[in-house]
Chain A
């Protein structure tokens, strides 16, 4: 059974339609890449999954359970959204680390606040935090504040922070777009490692080669609709749709 099922999502901002009839599903351990030009609705889609935006139509199901149904107000109760969010993790384009906390504290903060419901001790959480930092290759940066870290390091801390809550599905919103070109590699490497460990992920990205290599499935979006969807080698190397071809040719020209 699919771990995530998104059915007929639609979203308007005022009178502009940002998402139209978005449906896809994702199997456990798979990575899905979403590509498309800016303004195509990729980020809004991720924000809908993380309950930062409320879709106007459609359903979101995780492990067969309906988390959100636009037609059913009982799935939209304020008090339950917080819990539902924990199925997803989100890594932002601009990191959004908490500046007043060290790298380690950034990772452990939310989990410590949930320690009681999770039945964990502070020591356990800290140990898990350090373990995550070493996975990110940042063991020696545990006590550094965000402003003392490079962009690539900050983004890796942000990934560890999202992983700390053990989400079912980890979402990346253009994780390397705010980075200098020479720093993108370290972040992409970390995401590649996660893919090898069969982490379920949705990655919005402009790195075509990376999307093709890492993803099990690719979605190309344009003007709020899914234009083409399927095996990454097929979609990126042999696109069927004209719009996909045009978009990809702009990328190959640039590189």
Chain B
């Protein structure tokens, strides 16, 4: 029995790790894009409004100050962070079929694809806020020191600010990534057999509960390895402040 359970839990663990790594692989870079979006200073109406002959009214003044890319990104981040990931998975998976009569997920790995999409969007939003903190946390003086020394923008980014950002970002990012490990259990809401669902199956069919506790061991070991890894990275970056 122990081996049958182990094998079936390993299968569930496989689905969970697949979701985990895909989310990281796609979500980490997408988060950077979202971060740049939310920091965008693009003000398309400013020039047009401020250089008109007539003095702008209150509404036009506000419009001149508007940063549409940043505003739109912040609204998206607010919605994604403000609603449960479980709801987002359900909407992404069932939405197309229910509202448009077009189940775009009706292929072999469709469920996993839908779930991955929901995770990537959700986690990219959380990552973006972390990145933003890291970027804005590097003092302006660092960039200015580089400029005064005649460095190019590229050189300043790669030689001066990048490593300082990475150092700032690692602790909050590791926290979020550890949460991601356990959030993979939400995939069961659209019938993906991840760890918990695999373990719970034995409770329903055989009336035994220990496989459910056994799943915890998988999570603990996985998170343990990640913790060691993050500690290593943090130690590597501890030579400066």
CA distance A127 to B147 in the complex (A): 24
Chain A residues with a Cβ closer than 8 Å to the other chain, count: 28
Is B159 touching A109 in the complex (CB atoms < 8 A)? yes
State the Cβ distance, B141 to closest chain A Cβ, in Å. Answer: 4
Residues of B within 8 A of A98 (CB): 142, 145, 160
CB-defined contacts of A100 to chain B, threshold 8 Å? 163-164, 239-240
Q: Which of B144, B152, B159, B241 contacts A52 (CB 8 A)?
A: B144
Indicate whether B82 reaches chain A with its CB closer than 8 angstroms.
Answer: no
B202-221 vs A, CB cutoff 8 Å, 1 = contact: the mask equals 00000000000000000000
Q: Are B142 and A96 in contact (CB under 8 A)?
A: yes
Residues of A near B150 (CB, < 8 A) are 82-83, 85-86, 110, 114, 165
Whether B164 pairs with A88 at a CB distance below 8 angstroms is no
Determine how close the nearest CB of chain A comes to the CB of B203; give it in whole angstroms.
Answer: 52
Q: Give, as a whole number of angstroms, the nearest-CB distance from B134 to chain A.
A: 14
- Complex CA gap A85/B141 in Å reads 16
Chain B CB within 8 A of A92 CB: yes
A167 to B32 CA separation, bound complex (whole angstroms): 38
For B146, the chain A residues whose CB sits under 8 A away are 110
- Whole-angstrom distance from the CB of A89 to the nearest CB of chain B? 7
Q: Is the CB of A85 within 8 A of B159?
A: no
- CB of A40 within 8 Å of the partner chain: no
Q: How far is the CB of B158 from chain A (nearest CB, A)?
A: 10
A147, B141: Cβ atoms closer than 8 Å:
no
What separation, in Å, do the CA atoms of A96 and B145 have in the docked complex? 6
How far is A50 from B150 in the complex, measured between Cα atoms in Å? 10
Determine which of A51, A96, A110, A161 lies in contact with B141 in the assembled complex, contact meaning CB atoms within 8 Å. Answer: A96
CA distance A197 to B241 in the complex (A): 35
Q: Are B151 and A110 in contact (CB under 8 A)?
A: yes
List residues of chain B with CB within 8 A of the CB of A52. 144, 147-148
With both beta carbons as reference points, the residue of chain A lying nearest to B237 in the complex is identified as: A100
CB distance from A184 to the nearest CB of B (A): 20
Complex Cα–Cα for A147 and B148 (A)? 22
Q: Which residues of B contact A99 (CB under 8 A)?
A: 164, 240-241
B144/A96 in contact, CB under 8 A: yes
B106 at the interface (CB under 8 A from A): no
Residues of B within 8 A of A147 (CB): 240-241
Q: Report Cα–Cα, A90/B146, bound state, in Å.
A: 11
List 28 A–B pairs whose Cβ atoms lie within 8 Å, in order of A's numbering: A82-B151, A82-B152, A86-B150, A88-B148, A89-B148, A92-B144, A94-B141, A96-B142, A96-B144, A98-B160, A99-B164, A99-B240, A99-B241, A100-B163, A100-B164, A100-B240, A109-B159, A110-B151, A113-B151, A113-B155, A145-B239, A145-B240, A146-B241, A147-B240, A147-B241, A162-B148, A162-B149, A165-B150
Besides A98-B160, A113-B159, 17 other A-B contacts (C-beta < 8 A): A92-B145, A96-B145, A98-B142, A99-B164, A99-B241, A100-B163, A109-B149, A110-B146, A110-B149, A110-B151, A113-B151, A145-B240, A145-B241, A146-B241, A147-B240, A162-B148, A165-B149
